[in-house]
């Protein structure tokens, strides 16, 4: 099954869960119990390395049986990661909202909620959970939806990562006046990743926007190559999380791209 089809299924399932969440936790009850959102992306040309906590995915299945995201996040912090991305989607990526809460508490690092967000309720929910940044995926949103959700997140003082897979999606996210721009190198038709996609699209991102490389990063050299293209932030998942020594793996990558 193509990832595009999986995306439709994920969003449909997310919509069902969302209706239940709205009944159990009305919008007005969503309050933030931790400190206000902090700075997520480094500025002034300083590289941001975002290390991801992810148990598995639709294409890979379960990658880690003994998945304790807070322990993994502490290892990432020890390696010098700037921030942590946490998968909270439960049905296809085996995530939980509680994972974000525990990772933020254990690591002390700013946290990205990586999920399939399409409703203002989810933005408020992310803020209440303690997220410092949210992901908005152009492949599942219209241009107007991206603008609405990004604006609301920024009103709540969260940062936004706007994700594109191709030039059409990139133009869509660039219509939002602010926010980091992520290029996901994964082809939505055949699951493959190609860093040339990221390098080519990066050249279209204005210099005043933070360009974030996502997917397909499997070595420190990949990071160096992407850095030369113009990326100033990197979201790295499988390469870090499957390493036998995560802390050293992150440290080597951070040193290479700093």
Q: What is the dihedral of CA 79, 245, 53, 236, to 10 degrees?
A: 70
pLDDT of 6 higher than 70? yes
Domain of residue 190, CATH code: 3.20.20.70
pLDDT of 2 higher than 60? no
Does any domain span residue 12? yes
> Residue 94: which domain range?
3-26+47-257
- DSSP 8-state assignment for residue 126: H
Label residue 190 by pLDDT band (50, 70, 90).
Answer: low
How many residues can be counted in the chain? 258
Centroid of chain to Cα 42: 15
Q: Going by DSSP bridges, is the β-strand pair 56-57/48-53 parallel, antiparallel, or unpaired?
A: unpaired
pLDDT of 204 higher than 50? yes
Q: Which residues contact 33 (CB under 8 A, 6 or more apart)?
A: 128, 130
* Core vs surface per residue 107-135: b (16+ CB within 10 A) or e: bebbbbbbbbbbbebbbbbbbbbbbbbbb
Query: How large is the C-alpha radius of gyration of the chain?
Result: 17
- The least confident of 93-107, 174-188, 200-214 is 174-188
Q: What is residue 208's three-state secondary structure?
A: coil
Does any domain span residue 36? no
Does any domain span residue 37? no
- CA distances to 53, 101, 125, 166 from 69, in Å: 6, 10, 20, 31
Does any domain span residue 39? no
Centroid of chain to Cα 218: 17
Average pLDDT (164-188) is 92
Does any domain span residue 223? yes
pLDDT in tens, 40-91: 999 888 999 999 999 998 888 899 989 999 999 999 999 999 999 999 999 9
175 exposure class (CB count in 10 Å sphere: 0-12, 13-18, 19+): exposed
Cβ count near 41 (within 10 Å): 23
Separation of alpha carbons 149 and 146, rounded Å: 5
pLDDT of 189 higher than 70? no
pLDDT of 122 higher than 90? yes
pLDDT of 121 higher than 70? yes
* Core vs surface per residue 194-218: b (16+ CB within 10 A) or e: ebebbbebbeebeeebbbbbbbbbe
Number of domains in the chain: 1
In this prediction, residue 1 carries a pLDDT of 47
Does any domain span residue 198? yes
Does any domain span residue 151? yes
The mean pLDDT of the chain is: 94
């Amino acid at each position: 099954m193509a990832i595009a089809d999986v995306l439709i299924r994920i969003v449909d399932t997310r919509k069902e869960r969302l209706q239940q969440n709205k009944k159990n936790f009305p919008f007005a009850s969503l309050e933030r119990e931790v400190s206000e959102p902090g700075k997520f992306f480094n500025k002034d040309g300083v590289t941001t390395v975002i290390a991801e906590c992810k148990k598995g995915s639709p294409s890979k299945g379960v990658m880690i049986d003994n998945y304790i995201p807070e322990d993994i996040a502490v290892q990432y912090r020890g390696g010098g990661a700037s921030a942590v991305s946490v998968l909270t989607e439960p049905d296809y990526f085996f995530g939980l909202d509680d994972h974000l809460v525990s990772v933020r508490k254990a690591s002390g690092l700013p946290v990205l909620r990586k999920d399939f967000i399409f409703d203002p309720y989810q933005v408020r929910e992310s803020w209440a959970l303690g997220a410092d940044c949210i992901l908005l995926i152009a492949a599942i949103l219209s241009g107007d939806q991206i603008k609405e959700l990004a604006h609301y997140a920024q009103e709540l003082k969260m940062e936004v990562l706007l994700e594109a897979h191709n030039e059409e999606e990139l133009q869509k996210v660039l219509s939002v006046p602010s926010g980091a721009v992520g290029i996901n190198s994964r082809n939505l038709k055949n699951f493959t990743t190609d860093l040339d996609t990221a390098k080519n699209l990066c050249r279209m991102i204005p210099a005043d926007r933070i360009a974030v490389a996502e997917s397909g990063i499997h070595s420190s050299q990949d990071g160096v190559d992407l850095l030369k293209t113009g990326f100033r932030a990197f979201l790295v998942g499988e390469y870090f999380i499957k390493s036998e020594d995560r802390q050293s793996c992150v440290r080597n990558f951070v040193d290479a791209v700093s």
